[in-house]
Structure formats: structure tokens, C-alpha cells
Amino acid sequence: MTVIRQPGVVSTDHLVQVPLDHGDPGGEQIEVYAREVVAAGREREDLPWLLFLQGGPGGKAGRPLGRDGWLVRALDDYRVLLLDQRGTGRSTPANRQTLPLRGNAQEQARYLAHFRADSIVRDAEILRRRLLGEEGRWSLLGQSFGGFCTLSYLSLAPQGLREALVTGGLAGLRSSAESVYRAAYPRVAAKNRAHYRRYPQDVAAVRRIADHLRSAPARLPDGGLLTAEAFQSLGMLLGTGTGSHILHYLLEEAWVTGLSGPELSDVFLAGVHGHLSFAGNPLYAVLHESIYGQGSVDPAGTRWAAQRVRAEFPEFDAGRALDGDAPVLFTGEMIYPWMFDTDPALRPLKEAAEQLAEREEWPDLYDPARLAVNEVPVMAAVYHADMYVDTADSLATAEAVRGVRTWVTSEWEHDGLRVSGGQVLDRLIRMARGEV
């Protein structure tokens, strides 16, 4: 067991064996890693535990550099456990290098089908029993996809929870993948309009880049292909508090004059690569639509819902915009099948991703009947103009789950937990205590 001291915190490593398939506990085992973090000097205190479930899917827990970010507030009251959800970080990895060891695409997809919220919850329960004992209960903080996992936790194992805090992660309990994206495209369009109002010069800048890429796709530093459609995917930035500004500054340095005239700069291409490459979190792309897959809601599978629904919103067609005088719109948190052709980190996983997209036997992730009689207090921050999670879905879920109190705010974007210096978390903690 490794113990590390950083400014203001002490962290301890935990590694457990868990079944790949919790329905077959005696079968294949994988490893799941979690990092325990406590305020320096309080290591021996009997503090309540707070489990943190990261956004994603496919995102490892944040790596603290000391008492920073939301930990500033959390460590006042809790011993925090940062879970690397299965397949991520220091847990048994699932990526282009390891998945071929499983066999063909069908075997890889069968393996990855065990990496959704229901399995993550059961992994957490093994950790809880290991660290707190059978009767111990902990608090839960779920950010974004971590909030989706929280709803699964309340459905599958509420006896393990004292309270749940959710930031930007109340999923629609009965929302199909199609309905999720049908609601998402107008929200993304609104974020585009806000960006272009803020930086009107970017309308021409984006059109120039997209027009160039339409006829001459560029190579990114890893050999990936930057097409006009891939360029549009930078809109993922627009749902965060500073994303619009980051995008603008990236566009400012798009061009340089070389021997043959204007060309896209290395600085720009390196920046684009940093935002678009899935090398660091391939499961985000591979599993993204499956997080909405529920057999009773999507009996035919998700089938690349974002791509299919996009056809209903022709304003996102870059070629159509360029042939006219409309702004080129960026897309948002959408995964498209062509990404598995343009991104070298995803290319070897293309067939497995196709198998998952066509999979029909997804078990339901939520139990609406059990949630309707939930007894675990739930405090949820709902961001008024959240680009990633539909506010209407969140509020409907809050009505459907007993014991949920919501705080609807326009002060923060989806990344409020990360960037607010503990303010978002403090509000939820005070709500749980009845102070606000």
C-alpha cells in the first residue's frame, strides 16, 4: 500500500480485484484502483467517506496536486475516495493496445459491455465493504456521467449510501439515445450563437478554416486526419465556462505563411490534436452512446444515434453553410462513426464500436419504481443552460426520484464543480445539512 504526501493532503492507494461480470463472481477478474485522499494531519481521524465518481464515460479520476479544486472544500469534512472507473487510469486498462488481446471485435465488444454504470456501481460496493465494512455507508459525489452512475447506485445498492451529491448529472430515466441528441443539437446551436456574439470575427475565421479543410484535410501530429467535420467537433469546448475563450484563442493562431503561402500552423494543429484526440480516454468514444442504452427504452440498440439525428438539423452541415453565407456551426458531445477512421487511437476499435452500436440486449440502468420510493437524500446542482445534460430531463428526474432537492443555477457551466474553488460543492453540502 503506497502512501504519498503532497501539500495539504495524504493519499493512499487501494487496488481490488473485481469480477469482470458481476453476474459471474467466480469468473474472470480485473483490477480497480482508487486513491484515498485525506487532509494532512487528519489521517487517523474517524472521518466520513466521500466517494467521487468522475464524468465520462472513460474518464479517470482527477490527479490531485495537493489540496486543490473541489478538494479544498471536501477535505474539511470527508475522507475522499477517487475511483478510476474500470478500464481507466490505474484500473485494468481498456484501449487500442490492450483490447486486441481479447480476440476479435465480437469478443472485444462482449468484454466492453461490462464497463457501464451498473458494473461501476458494483465495483464501488466491493470497495465500500472492503474499506468501511458491510454496514458502513458513504456519501457519494457524482459529476456528469458520475451523476448517471449515482442514479444507478440508488437503483441497485442504496443501502451503501448516506447521501448523494450530484453536479450536472441527473440523466433522463426513460430517455432514449435518439431523444438525448434530438434535445442536444438545439442546445449546441445556442452555444454557437453565444460564441459568435462574443467573438463575431470568428464567423469568418471558422468559415476560412472549414473551407480549406473541405478540400485539403490536414494531418494532426499523431497522423490523425483533420477534416471539416472533425474541426466542427471542437464545439465540445463550448459547454464549459472558459471553452468559448479557449476556442477563440486557438482560432487566432490558425494560419502561418510558409513557402507556398498561407497554411494551417503547427501551433493550431497541435492545439486541435490536444482537444480532439481520444488517446487519453478512448472509452469515452467507444462507450459513449451505450450509457443511454436500456433495453426497455432502446430495444433496437443505440445505432449511432448522434449521427442519425444530426440529419434532422441541416444547420450543422458544414458544406451547406459554406455554399451559402451561414456560420459554420460546431458540434458538441456527439460521437460519430467516422471518428473511428480519423483518430489513430480509435481506428483499431472501430469494429468493436460497431458491435456495441448494434447491441440490443442492454439491461436497464435505472429502476424508476425503486427511485420513486428512494430514502437516500440527494442534492443536485442543475445548470440552467447545460450543453451536455438536458435541463428538462434533469428536472423531470428530480421530480421522479424521491428525496431530491435541486439547485438550478446559471452562475456556473457544466464544469462548475471543477472550476468553482469548492463553491458548488459547498452549496450542496449545506443543502444536505439543511442550512440553505
Respond yes or no: is residue 386 known to be catalytic: yes
CB 205 within 8 A of CB 251: yes
CA distances from 220 to 223, 224, 227, 256, 278 (A): 5, 5, 10, 16, 13
- Catalytic residue (one of 84, 386, 393, 415): 386
CB 304 within 8 A of CB 197: no
Respond yes or no: is residue 414 known to be catalytic: yes
User: Which DSSP helix (H) or strand (E) runs through 274?
Assistant: helix 266-276
Q: DSSP per residue over 373-430, as a string?
A: T--S-EEEEEETT-SSS-HHHHHHHHHHSTTEEEEEESSS-TTHHHHSTTHHHHHHHH
- Catalytic residue (one of 84, 202, 414, 415): 414
Helices (H) and strands (E) in the chain, counts: 18, 13
Name the one residue in this structure whose C-alpha cell is 472513460: 58
Instruction: Choose among 148, 147, 150: nearest CA to 138.
Output: 150
C-alpha count within 13 angstroms, C-beta hemisphere, residue 194: 19
Work out whether the CA dihedral 8, 13, 19, 25 comes out positive or negative: negative
Name the one residue in this structure whose C-alpha cell is 473541489: 70
Instruction: Choose among 187, 115, 170: nearest CA to 378.
Output: 170
- For 366: left if phi > 0, alpha if psi spans -120 to 50, otherwise beta; the answer is beta
| Rounded to 5°, angle at Cα 339 from 278 and 209 | 95
Respond yes or no: is residue 84 known to be catalytic: no
The grid coordinates of residue 68 equal: 486543490
Work out whether the CA dihedral 183, 113, 64, 80 comes out positive or negative: positive
- Catalytic residue (one of 91, 144, 152, 175): 144
Annotated catalytic residues are 144, 386, 414
